[in-house]
């Protein structure tokens, strides 16, 4: 299991605490592998972009109009988090539905 997130994100820290066996990947320093981003975008579409983030608010209208995958490659902190890869399956966020799907909580 791999948890993609930010070490400074409270939600990511909660998820990591509950998923002690997960390997943590800090997207700010390590990024997200392109194939994982492509699969996540295919599964979650526009929901993968965090349009309420500070990073998003700092982008110009021209930058915001770029394809989501290009934005995520250049600005990995735009990704909603955590993105969890477990046995090839992807989940996004740390809501009750994700916790139930992972058998936590």
Active-site positions?
9
Question: Which long-range CB contacts under 8 A does 64-70 form with residues at least 24 apart?
Answer: 68/41, 69/37, 69/38, 69/41
Compute the Cα dihedral for 13, 16, 20, 23 and give only its sign: negative
């Amino acid at each position: 299991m791999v948890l993609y997130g930010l070490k400074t994100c409270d939600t990511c820290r909660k998820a990591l605490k509950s998923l002690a066996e997960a390997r943590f990947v800090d997207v700010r320093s390590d990024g997200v592998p392109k194939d994982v981003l492509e699969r996540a975008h295919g599964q979650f579409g526009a929901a993968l972009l965090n349009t309420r983030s500070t990073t998003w608010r700092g982008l110009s209208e021209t930058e915001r109009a770029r394809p989501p995958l290009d934005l995520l490659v250049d600005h990995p902190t735009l990704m909603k988090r955590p993105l969890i890869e477990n046995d090839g399956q992807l989940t996004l966020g740390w809501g009750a539905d994700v916790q139930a799907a992972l058998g936590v909580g």
